Amino acid sequence: MLATLFGSGVLVRSAAATDADDQLTPEERAYVEKAVASRRAEFATARVLARAALAELGIVGVSLVPGKDRAPVWPAGIAGSITHTHGYCAVAVARSPPVRAVGLDIETVRPMSDGVVARILTPRERAWIDGRPRAARDGLALAFFSAKEAYYKCQYPVTSRYLGFQDVELEIDEAAGAFEARALTGELPASVARLTGRFAFDDGRVLSGVLLRDAALPV
Protein backbone atom coordinates (compact mmCIF):
# COMPACT_ATOMS: atom_id res chain seq x y z
CA MET A 1 0.00 0.00 0.00
CA LEU A 2 2.93 2.36 0.55
CA ALA A 3 3.55 2.57 -3.17
CA THR A 4 0.03 3.93 -3.71
CA LEU A 5 0.74 7.04 -1.62
CA PHE A 6 3.08 8.60 -4.16
CA GLY A 7 3.35 8.74 -7.90
CA SER A 8 6.34 7.85 -10.00
CA GLY A 9 9.78 8.92 -8.92
CA VAL A 10 9.48 8.01 -5.24
CA LEU A 11 11.02 4.85 -3.80
CA VAL A 12 9.42 3.43 -0.66
CA ARG A 13 10.71 0.67 1.60
CA SER A 14 9.35 -0.80 4.84
CA ALA A 15 10.17 -3.56 7.33
CA ALA A 16 9.70 -4.63 10.92
CA ALA A 17 12.31 -3.10 13.20
CA THR A 18 15.17 -5.46 14.05
CA ASP A 19 18.52 -5.21 15.78
CA ALA A 20 20.71 -3.77 13.04
CA ASP A 21 23.34 -1.90 15.07
CA ASP A 22 26.06 -3.65 13.11
CA GLN A 23 24.83 -1.96 9.93
CA LEU A 24 25.08 1.57 11.31
CA THR A 25 27.92 3.92 10.48
CA PRO A 26 30.09 5.02 13.43
CA GLU A 27 28.37 8.44 13.41
CA GLU A 28 24.90 6.88 13.47
CA ARG A 29 25.88 4.45 16.21
CA ALA A 30 27.19 7.29 18.36
CA TYR A 31 23.99 9.25 17.85
CA VAL A 32 21.73 6.46 19.10
CA GLU A 33 23.99 4.59 21.54
CA LYS A 34 22.20 5.83 24.67
CA ALA A 35 18.70 5.07 23.38
CA VAL A 36 16.62 2.12 24.55
CA ALA A 37 16.78 -1.07 22.50
CA SER A 38 13.45 -0.51 20.72
CA ARG A 39 14.46 2.99 19.66
CA ARG A 40 17.86 1.76 18.42
CA ALA A 41 16.16 -0.97 16.39
CA GLU A 42 13.79 1.50 14.73
CA PHE A 43 16.59 3.97 14.06
CA ALA A 44 18.89 1.32 12.58
CA THR A 45 16.21 -0.40 10.50
CA ALA A 46 15.16 2.94 9.00
CA ARG A 47 18.77 3.65 8.00
CA VAL A 48 19.15 0.21 6.42
CA LEU A 49 15.97 0.77 4.42
CA ALA A 50 17.01 4.27 3.39
CA ARG A 51 20.44 3.14 2.22
CA ALA A 52 18.87 0.35 0.17
CA ALA A 53 16.58 2.84 -1.55
CA LEU A 54 19.40 5.33 -2.08
CA ALA A 55 21.55 2.61 -3.62
CA GLU A 56 18.90 2.19 -6.30
CA LEU A 57 19.47 5.84 -7.12
CA GLY A 58 23.21 5.27 -7.33
CA ILE A 59 24.02 6.82 -3.93
CA VAL A 60 26.07 4.65 -1.58
CA GLY A 61 28.13 5.02 1.57
CA VAL A 62 26.07 7.77 3.18
CA SER A 63 25.58 8.33 6.90
CA LEU A 64 22.07 9.51 7.80
CA VAL A 65 22.60 11.30 11.11
CA PRO A 66 19.81 13.68 12.18
CA GLY A 67 20.58 17.38 12.38
CA LYS A 68 20.06 19.67 15.36
CA ASP A 69 16.34 19.75 14.58
CA ARG A 70 16.32 15.90 14.74
CA ALA A 71 15.28 15.66 11.07
CA PRO A 72 17.34 13.32 8.87
CA VAL A 73 20.04 15.05 6.83
CA TRP A 74 19.73 13.61 3.35
CA PRO A 75 22.46 13.64 0.70
CA ALA A 76 22.51 16.56 -1.72
CA GLY A 77 19.97 16.05 -4.47
CA ILE A 78 17.70 13.81 -2.37
CA ALA A 79 14.35 14.41 -0.70
CA GLY A 80 13.30 11.86 1.88
CA SER A 81 11.17 11.01 4.86
CA ILE A 82 11.37 8.41 7.64
CA THR A 83 8.61 7.10 9.88
CA HIS A 84 8.24 4.36 12.47
CA THR A 85 5.45 3.04 14.69
CA HIS A 86 5.35 0.20 17.20
CA GLY A 87 8.30 -1.67 15.74
CA TYR A 88 7.56 -0.97 12.08
CA CYS A 89 9.63 1.37 9.91
CA ALA A 90 9.26 2.91 6.47
CA VAL A 91 11.13 5.37 4.29
CA ALA A 92 10.45 7.32 1.10
CA VAL A 93 13.20 8.84 -1.03
CA ALA A 94 13.28 10.68 -4.35
CA ARG A 95 15.62 12.73 -6.47
CA SER A 96 15.45 16.48 -5.86
CA PRO A 97 14.70 17.92 -8.31
CA PRO A 98 12.14 17.01 -9.61
CA VAL A 99 10.75 16.26 -6.13
CA ARG A 100 11.24 19.15 -3.70
CA ALA A 101 10.03 17.44 -0.52
CA VAL A 102 8.25 14.31 0.64
CA GLY A 103 6.37 13.53 3.85
CA LEU A 104 5.58 9.99 5.00
CA ASP A 105 3.81 8.96 8.19
CA ILE A 106 2.53 5.63 9.50
CA GLU A 107 0.51 5.13 12.68
CA THR A 108 -0.73 2.00 14.38
CA VAL A 109 -4.53 2.06 14.61
CA ARG A 110 -5.58 2.52 18.24
CA PRO A 111 -8.35 4.15 20.29
CA MET A 112 -7.91 7.88 20.83
CA SER A 113 -9.10 9.78 23.89
CA ASP A 114 -11.39 12.77 23.52
CA GLY A 115 -8.61 15.00 24.81
CA VAL A 116 -6.19 13.86 22.12
CA VAL A 117 -8.82 14.17 19.41
CA ALA A 118 -9.60 17.71 20.56
CA ARG A 119 -5.92 18.67 20.21
CA ILE A 120 -5.64 17.14 16.73
CA LEU A 121 -8.86 18.30 15.08
CA THR A 122 -10.06 21.80 14.30
CA PRO A 123 -13.75 22.45 15.10
CA ARG A 124 -14.60 22.01 11.42
CA GLU A 125 -12.75 18.68 11.25
CA ARG A 126 -14.41 17.50 14.47
CA ALA A 127 -17.84 18.28 13.03
CA TRP A 128 -16.98 16.17 9.98
CA ILE A 129 -15.77 13.26 12.16
CA ASP A 130 -18.90 13.43 14.30
CA GLY A 131 -20.98 12.96 11.16
CA ARG A 132 -19.33 9.61 10.36
CA PRO A 133 -20.48 6.22 11.71
CA ARG A 134 -19.32 5.79 15.31
CA ALA A 135 -17.33 2.64 14.50
CA ALA A 136 -15.22 4.55 11.99
CA ARG A 137 -14.41 7.61 14.09
CA ASP A 138 -11.26 6.41 15.85
CA GLY A 139 -9.67 5.30 12.60
CA LEU A 140 -10.61 8.52 10.83
CA ALA A 141 -9.34 10.68 13.68
CA LEU A 142 -6.04 8.84 13.45
CA ALA A 143 -6.06 9.39 9.68
CA PHE A 144 -6.26 13.13 10.35
CA PHE A 145 -3.35 12.82 12.78
CA SER A 146 -1.23 10.86 10.30
CA ALA A 147 -2.08 13.08 7.33
CA LYS A 148 -1.13 16.20 9.28
CA GLU A 149 2.16 14.60 10.31
CA ALA A 150 2.91 13.79 6.67
CA TYR A 151 2.08 17.37 5.69
CA TYR A 152 4.34 18.77 8.41
CA LYS A 153 7.23 16.61 7.23
CA CYS A 154 6.73 17.73 3.63
CA GLN A 155 6.56 21.45 4.34
CA TYR A 156 9.40 21.56 6.87
CA PRO A 157 12.35 21.28 4.42
CA VAL A 158 10.91 24.29 2.59
CA THR A 159 9.97 26.48 5.57
CA SER A 160 11.91 25.20 8.64
CA ARG A 161 8.67 25.96 10.48
CA TYR A 162 7.21 23.90 13.31
CA LEU A 163 3.42 23.73 13.10
CA GLY A 164 0.79 22.67 15.60
CA PHE A 165 -2.16 20.46 14.76
CA GLN A 166 -4.47 23.46 14.89
CA ASP A 167 -2.33 25.29 12.33
CA VAL A 168 -3.52 22.99 9.54
CA GLU A 169 -6.98 21.96 8.39
CA LEU A 170 -7.77 18.98 6.18
CA GLU A 171 -10.42 18.15 3.66
CA ILE A 172 -10.63 14.35 3.44
CA ASP A 173 -12.10 12.39 0.56
CA GLU A 174 -12.71 9.13 2.40
CA ALA A 175 -13.77 7.14 -0.65
CA ALA A 176 -10.77 8.19 -2.73
CA GLY A 177 -8.24 7.90 0.10
CA ALA A 178 -7.14 11.47 -0.58
CA PHE A 179 -6.88 14.71 1.36
CA GLU A 180 -5.99 18.35 0.96
CA ALA A 181 -4.03 20.08 3.73
CA ARG A 182 -4.42 23.84 4.11
CA ALA A 183 -2.25 25.92 6.43
CA LEU A 184 -4.26 28.26 8.64
CA THR A 185 -1.33 30.42 9.78
CA GLY A 186 -1.19 32.55 6.64
CA GLU A 187 2.61 32.73 6.97
CA LEU A 188 3.75 29.86 4.76
CA PRO A 189 4.88 30.28 1.14
CA ALA A 190 2.29 29.48 -1.49
CA SER A 191 4.22 26.39 -2.61
CA VAL A 192 3.36 24.57 0.65
CA ALA A 193 0.37 26.49 2.02
CA ARG A 194 -1.96 24.00 0.33
CA LEU A 195 -0.85 20.46 -0.52
CA THR A 196 -2.64 17.28 -1.48
CA GLY A 197 -1.85 13.79 -0.27
CA ARG A 198 -3.11 10.25 0.04
CA PHE A 199 -3.90 7.92 2.92
CA ALA A 200 -4.77 4.25 3.29
CA PHE A 201 -5.53 1.69 5.98
CA ASP A 202 -3.45 -1.46 5.79
CA ASP A 203 -2.77 -4.30 8.24
CA GLY A 204 -3.81 -2.37 11.35
CA ARG A 205 -2.02 0.82 10.34
CA VAL A 206 -2.90 4.09 8.65
CA LEU A 207 -0.41 5.32 6.04
CA SER A 208 -0.17 8.91 4.79
CA GLY A 209 1.96 10.56 2.16
CA VAL A 210 2.40 14.10 0.81
CA LEU A 211 4.63 15.03 -2.12
CA LEU A 212 5.82 18.44 -3.27
CA ARG A 213 7.05 18.44 -6.85
CA ASP A 214 8.86 21.14 -8.78
CA ALA A 215 6.06 22.26 -11.07
CA ALA A 216 8.54 23.26 -13.76
CA LEU A 217 10.03 19.79 -14.10
CA PRO A 218 8.55 16.41 -15.05
CA VAL A 219 8.99 13.46 -12.69
C-alpha 115/C-alpha 171 separation (Å) is 21
Residue 215, pLDDT score = 65
Where along the chain do its domains lie?
1-219
Dihedral sign, Cα of residue 51, residue 52, residue 54, residue 58: positive
Could you tell me which residues come within 8 angstroms of residue 215 by beta carbon, excluding any fewer than 6 positions away? none
Residue 7, pLDDT score = 84
Q: Is 15 exposed, middle or buried (0-12, 13-18, 19+ CB in 10 A)?
A: middle
Residue 1, pLDDT score = 85
Residue 166 · residue 184 · CB < 8 Å: yes
Is the backbone of residue 77 left (phi > 0), alpha (psi -120 to 50) or beta?
A: left
The upper half-sphere exposure of residue 126, i.e. CA atoms within 13 Å in the direction of its Cβ, equals: 12
Phi, then psi, of 140 in degrees rounded to 5: -70, -35
Q: Which one, of 61, 51, 38, lies nearest residue 91 by Cα?
A: 51
| pTM metric for this prediction | 0.94
What radius of gyration, in Å, describes the C-alpha atoms of the chain?
Answer: 17
* Structure confidence by residue, pLDDT tens digits, 141-160: 999 999 999 999 999 999 99
* Structure confidence by residue, pLDDT tens digits, 19-59: 999 999 999 999 999 999 999 999 999 999 999 999 999 99
pLDDT in tens, the chain (219 residues): 898 999 889 999 999 999 999 999 999 999 999 999 999 999 999 999 999 999 999 999 999 999 999 999 999 999 999 999 999 999 999 999 999 999 999 999 998 889 999 999 999 999 999 999 988 988 999 999 999 999 999 999 999 999 999 999 999 999 999 999 999 988 899 999 999 999 999 999 999 999 999 864 444
Tell me which fold the domain 1-219 belongs to. Answer: Ribosomal Protein L22; Chain A (3.90.470)
